[in-house]
């Protein structure tokens, strides 16, 4: 009788162990996706790890239209210009022009300084407007980056950058525009 009891417990223990292993794997995958924000972001970070980043090999191929955070370019970035976004006399955000010497690239950045804001954010570069989920979110502010533009020579003009923060989805949203930077002596 004791022999039969041990024999029936073994498959039960193996089944319980299998279920526990599946739950641990599912929890681990959930944690990975939660830390990376989305399966798309996770896939992008894996792709980045397998190829050269803009910070590793600055070039048009590695830098243009890329995310400055994922490419390692935000680490040495400097703010070249900044303008406040104002609504009814109150600063609610700002738009910035950022430059990374290491990546030889620039991009725009919009801050929404309204605590717990969920309103749409937009950033426009050279007439192309991006509306996306913020690049960074906290309780006190949100940040949206534009794509990067590679600029290996100091002769390339830098287009205007516009940051827009929606208020209620009805009224014209407040915005601020950093003007185009033209290089003296270059053709427009």
Asked: is 63-178 a CATH 1.10.3470 domain? The reply is: no
Determine which helix (DSSP H) or strand (DSSP E) holds 102, and give its type and residue range.
none
pLDDT above 70 (res 162): yes
The confidence band for 181, taking pLDDT boundaries of 50, 70 and 90, is confident
Q: What span, in angstroms and rounded, lies between the C-alpha atoms of 73 and 174?
A: 29
* Residue, of 77 and 37, whose pLDDT is higher: 77
What pTM was estimated for this model as a whole? 0.68
Instruction: Determine how β-strand 90-100 pairs with β-strand 142-145.
Output: unpaired
- Burial string for 118-145 (b: 16+ CB within 10 Å, else e) reads eebbbbbbeeeeeeeebbebeeebbbbb
For the chain, the domains span 2-36, 63-178
Kindly report, residue by residue over 77-116, the tens digit of the pLDDT.
999 999 999 999 999 999 999 999 999 999 999 999 999 9
What average pLDDT does this structure show over 50-77? 92
């Amino acid at each position: 009788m004791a022999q039969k009891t041990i024999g029936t417990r073994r498959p039960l223990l193996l089944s319980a162990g299998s279920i526990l292993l599946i739950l641990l794997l599912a929890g681990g995958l959930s944690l990975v996706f939660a830390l990376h924000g989305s399966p798309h972001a996770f896939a992008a970070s894996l792709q980045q790890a397998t190829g050269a980043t803009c910070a590793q090999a600055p070039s048009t191929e590695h830098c243009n239209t890329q995310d400055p955070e994922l490419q390692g370019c935000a680490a040495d970035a400097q703010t070249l210009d900044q303008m406040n976004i104002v609504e009814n006399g109150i600063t609610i955000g700002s738009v910035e022009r950022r430059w990374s010497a290491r990546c030889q690239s620039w991009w725009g950045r919009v801050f929404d300084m309204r605590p717990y804001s969920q309103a749409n954010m937009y950033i426009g570069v050279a007439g192309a407007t991006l509306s996306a989920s913020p690049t960074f979110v906290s309780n006190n502010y949100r940040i949206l980056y534009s794509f990067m533009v590679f600029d290996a020579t100091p002769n390339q003009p830098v287009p205007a950058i516009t940051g827009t923060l929606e208020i209620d989805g009805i009224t014209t949203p407040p915005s601020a525009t950093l003007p185009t930077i033209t290089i003296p002596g270059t053709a427009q």
